[in-house]
Amino acid sequence: MISKAAEMTVLLNRLFPDQSARVLEAMSEVQRDVFVDPGWKRMAYTDSSLPIGHGQTISKPATVFRMLSALEPVFGGKLLETGSGSGYLASVASRLFNRVYCVERVLGLVESSRTNLRQTGSGNVVVRYGDGSSGWAEHALFDGILYSAGAPELPVSLAGQLREGGLAGVPVGTKSSQEFIVWRKVEGELERVSSFTCSFVPLIGKEGWNG
């Protein structure tokens, strides 16, 4: 039988024939089936978003790949992820960044993600329970910031927590459809670098929906 790591490699090479070798390698080291609900494990190596419990979903591998690839210039630094859910993106990121700080607003997911992260050898990740819409000021400045839930507009706290030259990616749009916009901080201002269309669950909190 083909190994799980090989299954992810086959999928990613088909989706992204000429892309970042480092992200592909990190993704092939992490067993995605560990992070999804028991009934969905056989779908873990397809390009689908899948249930992780508590009404939330794990992003498609292609989306995780794009989010992390956009931050390649700041690999090796400190990453903040808001909306860490199952911990899958954080586990892949732990192979690319020195430290990964996560905030998740569903307590059940904070607990299950810590178990998943332990099981996949991601010791440089910490997960905090709470509203991460305003980032995590205590650990700023970050080299990279990723929001894994969609915001109505760019959270105002973000710029102050990103170091000069750092990169941040946030899905911004409506509750059902967003543009994942990547910014770089240049001379204190955020400059737009790139974007792609996406569909994330809503960011609920002070600087998100219902804030």
What is the set of active-site residues? 59
68 binds ligand SAH (CB under 6 A): no
CA–CA gap between residue 148 and residue 164 (Å, rounded): 22
132 binds ligand SAH (CB under 6 A): yes
The rounded Cα 150 to chain-centroid distance in angstroms is: 12
| Tokens of residue 135, six digits | 């980032």
170 binds ligand SAH (CB under 6 A): no
Cβ partners under 8 Å of residue 132, min gap 6: 82, 83, 102, 103, 104, 105, 205
62 binds ligand SAH (CB under 6 A): no
Site residues (CB under 6 A) for ligand SAH, limited to 21-60: 52, 56-59
66 binds ligand SAH (CB under 6 A): no
- The binder of ligand SAH chosen from 9, 120, 122, 148 (CB under 6 A): 148
Torsion of CA 137, 143, 147, 148, to 10 degrees: -120
Whether the CA torsion 105, 107, 110, 112 is positive or negative: it is negative
Task: Give the nearest distance from C-beta 4 to ligand SAH in angstroms.
Answer: 17
Task: Give the nearest distance from C-beta 195 to ligand SAH in angstroms.
Answer: 18
Interface residue list for ligand SAH (CB under 6 A) = 52, 56-59, 82-86, 88-89, 103-106, 109, 131-133, 148-149, 201, 203-205, 208
